[in-house]
Chain A
Amino acid sequence: MVERVIDIKGVHFGYGKSWVLEDINFQVNEGDFIGVIGPNGGGKTTLIKVILGLLKPQKGQVFIRGYPVEKGRKFIGYVPQAIEFDRAFPISVQDVVRMGRLSQNRLLKPYNQKDEKIVQECLEKVEMWHLRHHCIGELSGGERQRVYIARALATKPHILLLDEPTANVDSKVQNNIYELLRQLNEHITILLVSHDLGAISRHVKTIACLNRRLYYHGDKLITPEMLEATYNCPIDLIAHGIPHRVFPPHQ
């Protein structure tokens, strides 16, 4: 039986008077590679924060592998957006990845040999081991993204959760990162959010659309209704920007 990794039931969340997320029902199963697309301000980052337990939904529940978020989030390897960040921060690539080995019951205990081995494996997997002594601020956007992926992998996650993984990188680097994610998906479930419909649709297995409400049918087809509800604009305005294969046959 396929395990249900993330289970979101009837979640409502708002910062003020109106809902940013409304009645979200969404299941992520083991082995999935789901891209959540939506316009800026559509609630993508909020959804990630709810899944990580950084924000508490006013209504509804989130389970990760059957546990409530505070307990279940240890199974998530979180890869944040690599944009906002202090370039002068004195931390080496290796130390960033070591953070993935932290946990509550490791307080006061130093990293051990097993941790160092995992850190090396993860850095080799993303091909960044040779830059391990470099300062994180000396890396390019794409390299930094790889380091954050390595850090998430070092947590030995059941699911990778990525927030705009290809923001601010050029299209060649973008393809490299998606190729890496495709390889990782052979063993790990992946959920990512992006506003870049074109890039996402070529690489993920299935697509969900989010703009306050979430539309997901467990396949890669985006119906005109989904798009219209998500982007609130006539489909032909954006149809040219995305590959035709994500559309059902045109009538």
Chain B
Amino acid sequence: MASPIGYSPHINNPHPQDGDKPHPQDRDKPHPQDRDKPHPYMPMLESLQSALQLEFMRNAIIAGILVSIACGIIGTFVVVNRIVFISGGIAHAAYGGIGLAIFFRFNPLLGAIFFSLLSGIAMAVVERRTNERKDTIIGTLWAMGMSIGIILIDLTRGYKANLMNYLFGSILAVPKQDLWLMLILDLVILLMVCLLYKELLAISFDPVFATTRNLPVDSLYLLLISAISLTIVMVMQVVGLIMVIALLTIPPAIANQYVRGMIPMMILGSLLGMAFILVGLILSFLFNLTSGATIILVAGTTYFLSYLFQFFFPRKLSVP
């Protein structure tokens, strides 16, 4: 990692990966990373063009595409089941697992997966089984998970850098192996949805009716929560905790305003996610802004604009 906290939001941070060379054709134009001088409009676009040739930029775009697919599909279930709060809880509780892994010196990814599955199942049981105030219990689990992580890292010397990475992520510094892991996750999610789509739709829409049809409602719900937990951990690894929640909810929520089915919602949600990441990356490059935050602001602004648009011109696309 280049910066002391392992977090490189700005494009002008020298990046250690190879492929970071100006394109031969651009030799006489301003170097993309030479951002000290103000440049006119055209060179700005050309520097963007050459930036897209950089390996870390290409990786960021590939990561964005893979992450958007996972978030578009899983986020659709999160939105229609109204478990955004549980997803936030899982994401923050996963932090406890990272702390645990750092303290006991094993792979933080394993720690995060373990803790997120555990907290996800606990929250699912709370959501479905208790008559207490569910949001209070989930909120407490959320806060405790995160605090356990912080305390365990306090007790370990010299690992603070890594933790910041999980909080904000750095889509501009995604290692290649993470891209492969993301691809595998996408394939697993696609397989699950292909095989169990009609049952997952049924338990999301009307779990009571699904129970009367003798479907294994509880097992299917736990499967869904586990898929959500895994997605959160994997995506968090790439783009950070805050962007996971944004990407899980905003693109499917916008898609929901325009289409009539869950599958179109998944497809449109994935495409919107890709568009937000691409536009956010370009803006963050052009204006020298933090990439994650720019992507989230692009997505959030679009959501509210779309909300207003739907308010004044309510209309659904007809998808048979």
Binding site for B on A (CB under 8 A): 52-54, 70, 73-74, 76, 78, 80, 86, 88-92, 95-96, 98-100, 102-104, 107-108, 110-111, 133-135, 138, 151, 155
Contact = CB atoms under 8 A, between A and B. Distances in A.
Contacts of B144: none
Contact of A96 (B205, B210, B213): B205
B208 interface: yes
A54 B208 contact: yes
A211 to B, nearest CB: 24
A90 B214 contact: no
Interface residues of B, number: 31
A11 B318 CA distance: 49
B266 to A, nearest CB: 10
Contact of A102 (B199, B204, B265): B199
Nearest to B252: A90
B52 interface: no
Given A102-B199, A107-B199, A108-B196, A90 B213 contact: no
A81 to B, nearest CB: 10
B234 to A, nearest CB: 25
A78 B209 contact: yes
27 contacts: A52-B211, A52-B212, A70-B214, A73-B212, A78-B208, A89-B204, A90-B256, A90-B261, A90-B262, A90-B264, A92-B260, A99-B201, A99-B206, A99-B213, A100-B213, A102-B213, A103-B213, A104-B215, A104-B216, A107-B215, A107-B216, A108-B195, A133-B260, A133-B318, A134-B260, A138-B316, A155-B213
A102 B201 CA distance: 11
A88 B82 CA distance: 11
B202 interface: yes
B48 interface: no
A103 B198 CA distance: 11
B259 interface: yes
B80 interface: yes
Contacts of A89: 80, 204-205
Contacts of B216: 104, 107
Given A92-B260, A96-B205, A133-B318, A74 B80 contact: no
A89 B208 CA distance: 16
Contacts of B196: 107-108
A102 B215 contact: yes
A82 B202 CA distance: 16
B127 to A, nearest CB: 15
Given A102-B199, A108-B196, A135-B260, A151 B215 contact: no
B319 to A, nearest CB: 8
Nearest to B216: A104
Interface string B234-275: 000000000000000000000010011110110000000000
B242 to A, nearest CB: 25
Q: Is the interface of A mostly helix, strand, loop or mixed?
A: loop
Given A102-B210, A133-B318, A111 B201 contact: no
Given A100-B213, A134-B260, 17 more contacts: A52-B208, A53-B211, A74-B214, A89-B80, A89-B205, A90-B262, A91-B201, A91-B205, A92-B261, A95-B201, A99-B198, A102-B202, A102-B210, A103-B213, A133-B320, A135-B260, A138-B316
A76 B212 contact: yes
B214 A80 contact: no
A107 B320 CA distance: 24
A110 B265 CA distance: 20
A250 B193 CA distance: 64
The 9 closest A-B pairs by CB, nearest first: A104-B214, A135-B260, A102-B213, A78-B212, A99-B202, A90-B265, A52-B212, A108-B195, A133-B320
Given A74-B214, A80-B209, A98 B316 contact: no
B310 to A, nearest CB: 10
Contacts of A133: 260, 318-320
A99 B80 contact: no
Contacts of A80: 206, 208-209
A44 to B, nearest CB: 16
B210 A99 contact: yes
B257 to A, nearest CB: 8
B265 to A, nearest CB: 5
A36 B262 CA distance: 37
**Among B204, B206, B208, B216, residue most surrounded by chain A Cβ atoms (within 10 Å):** B206
Contacts of A90: 80, 256, 259-262, 264-265
A64 B209 CA distance: 17
A184 B212 CA distance: 21
Nearest to B202: A99
Interface in B262-315: 262, 264-265
Nearest to B257: A88
